Structure 1
Amino acid sequence: MRIVTLKEIQSMVSLSAATVAVRDAFIDYSQGLIEQPDPMQILFKDELGRLTGDCHVKSAQKKRHAYFVIKVASGFYNNAAAGLPVNNGLVLVMSSDNGQAVALLQDEGWLTQVRTAAAGALAASLRDVKKTDCLGVIGTGIQAYLQVKMITEKLSLKRVAVLGRSLEKSAAFCRKLNEELDVIAVPMDSARSVCHASQVVITVTPSERALIRAEDLPESLHIVAIGADSPGKLEIDPSVFHAAKIVVTDDHDQCLHHGDFGAAVRAKAIKEDADYAMGKVLSGQYSELDFNGTGISIVDLTGLGAQDLAVASLLVDQFSTSL
């Protein structure tokens, strides 16, 4: 078994290649070529019952594919205050022929971050945008940074509107974006301000309360919801789903269980069968869908084992001949 360090992994996986691999994984999954068990989740709470961390275990196998994977990814939200990384994890790659361990990818959560950002970029690109349009981001962590980097590069956007937990955090994040990326990022003081300044909005927080509500919406907006990947998390109020003309989910059952879509269904704001599958949208099976013009569209992403298989295979394929 080969053990691969984070430094090696980052040198071998490009963001653009990861996006292509994740797109193919979505389509393969929608066609029944990939099997993935329900994810296992461990939630950590403080003495007041507030969510302070989570650990996800996801896995997947693909028909006639050399490997299957088991991924462990953790996020402990208070780590930054202690000078520790918020995210960590690893990916175990095993042979589909004999069950032997092929590689242990000590990615420290980086591959999960990349495949999540790739999915966000794909979801954002469902809407046509002009170079003068604005990307809104709610959140200021590493995932927010990667989302901005990958989406602005993919859609050729330069303007970014940012909302963090405080104006200070928003301003600091904007300075980082402006210094390191080819964008002009501006801090905002409310979700409404972000929504009205933007054509596409990404939410990437561990929030347990809705951040965007119907009263925050402009006439037209494309929302990509990423943060609600565990039970109890919520970023998009059910009223927003009630107002939406299009709702897309990466996995129907998973989003029902712990996505914003599921919260909206339980609130009876939207019907349980009102969503479209991300993989089928990407493959053009829903040609009637129009993400442009007026109206609200939402993509609810909770993260698939299929994505983990895709990025891990992308990496292992590069050194498999030497194993």
Structure 2
Amino acid sequence: MKTLLLKKEEVRSLISMKEVISTVEEAYKAFNSNQVVQPDYIGIHLPPPRGEIDFKLSYYMANEVISMKASSGGFNDNPAVHGVPSGMGTILLFDGKSCALICVMDGSLITGLRTGAAGAVSVKLLARKNSRKVTSIGTGNQARMQIRAISEVMNIEEIHAWDNSPDTLAKFKADIEGEFGIPVSMASSKKTAVELADILITTTRGKGTLVEADWIKPGTHIVAIGTDQQGKQELDPEIFRHAKIVNDSTSQCAEKGETWHPLNAKIITYDDIHAEIGEILLGEKPGRENDEEITIFDSTGMAIQDNTTAEKIYRNALGNNVGSFFEFL
């Protein structure tokens, strides 16, 4: 059986952000419809100055595809020392009926795309309809992905951004204003930026509280992206006390996500978690119910998102004769 190989630029050409938002919505609904087999993902932290590598596996009954992704990040010395990016990814797709390997593709773009799309899905369901101001705490690649995705589902009028690196912050401002024409204000403090937010995005590798509870105004929607491993943290756990809490996967978020911190501090219990986002998409639970609610979407990232997105790219590649085939035998 032949296996399709898709390189990074080929992957980039084969899917749009709108399509990714759709594949992520499909993934969330599938997860909460008992159509997904998704073991707990495995993460390995390597000795400093190296970072971490995660392995995520899923089987989706509807498309009969098994996906496996290896994704690394935080290898900051890589460009200078090894001549490769600080974060990389590879996705393998297997036919669910035969377990034959049908595709090998670069996965570095997919992680960013589907994580950005996850934030956009949460904005559709949980942000106030009159939201116009976005604040980004952190201004790296994922912050850009969040803006690209969210701009597909709402009209962003202004962005307030904070980063502990002035150079990174200035580049974010130049890039976003150049790509979207949306004015970006470089905040002098996290507090100032957060207080202005209709939608707050956190995309750092923080290991402590970056956002305090008393900075959050009523009606804010928080997209918590950065915490996906034990030891990471971005939000004051007190924010959760009076918020509507939505997870991608509660089992993951309670173990490795931002939700772990208020659970561990006994600020909330499992009963205080409102829903998984797939339940809202399926109409089983409500999204935002009034303009005063503080809503939190805690996203740790799920293998089924990689599955549905990568399968769409694979089908697009076949339909457009993109990529090259090889055989192991």
Q: TM-score, normalised by structure 2?
A: 0.90
Distance 2:104 2:56 in 1: 15
**Structure 1: where are the runs of 5+ without partners?**
none
1:105 alignment partner in structure 2 = 105
CA distance in 2, matches of 1:189, 1:143: 21
Deviation (angstroms), 1:237: 1.6
Q: Partner amino acid for 2:63?
A: H
Question: Normalised by the size of structure 1, how large is the TM-score?
Answer: 0.92
Query: One-letter code of the match for 1:3?
Result: L
Question: Does structure 2 conserve the Cα–Cα contact (< 8 Å) formed by 1:291 and 1:297?
Answer: no
Q: CA deviation at 1:45?
A: 4.2
Partner of 2:72: 74
Q: How much is the aligned-residue C-alpha RMSD, in angstroms?
A: 1.9
Contact 1:73 1:87 in 2 (8 A): yes
Confirm or deny: 8 A CA contact 1:94 1:101 kept in the other structure. yes
SS in 1 for 2:231: coil
Task: Say which structure, 1 or 2, has more relative contact order (CA 8 Å, 6+ apart).
Answer: 2
Equivalent in the alignment of 1:249:
247
Say if 2:195 and 2:216, in contact at 8 Å, map to a contact too: yes
Segments of structure 2 that go 5 or more residues without pairing to the other structure are none
Q: Matches of residues 1-323 of structure 1 in structure 2 within 5 Å?
A: 1-46=3-48, 53-76=51-74, 78-79=76-77, 82=80, 85-107=85-107, 109-126=108-125, 127-130=127-130, 133-244=132-243, 246-275=244-273, 276-287=275-286, 289-290=287-288, 292-320=290-318
Alpha-carbon distance, 1:79 to partner: 4.2
SS in 2 for 1:130: coil
Deviation digits for residues 279-320 of structure 1 (CA, Å, limit 9, x no counterpart): 011222213x43541131111000001101010110112245
Q: Distance in 2 between matches of 1:163 and 1:62?
A: 38
Percent of aligned pairs with the same residue? 26
Q: Structure 1, residues 240-270: CA drift from partner, whole Å, max 9, x if none?
A: 11131x0000001100111010111001111
Taking a change above 3 Å as real, the CA distance of residues 45 and 183 of structure 1, as seen in their structure-2 partners, is farther
Contact 2:44/2:54, CA 8 A, preserved across alignment:
yes
**Structure 2: distance between partners of 1:103 and 1:260:** 33
Q: Residues 77 and 221 (structure 1 numbering): CA distance in 2 closer, same or farther, change over 3 Å?
A: farther
Partners of 1:80 and 1:143 lie apart in 2 by 19
Change (3 A) 1:81 1:184: farther
Alpha-carbon deviations, 1:112-139, whole Å to 9, x = none? 11111110111122213337x2011111
3-state DSSP of counterpart to 1:155: coil
Q: Deviations over 1:63-116 (max 9, x none)?
A: 242311001111125248748533211000011111110010023x11111111
**Residues in 2 aligned to 1:163 and 1:84: alpha-carbon distance in whole angstroms:** 28
Counterparts in 2 of 1:292 and 1:203: CA distance versus 1, 3 Å = farther
Q: State the distance in 2 between where 1:140 and 1:214 align.
A: 21
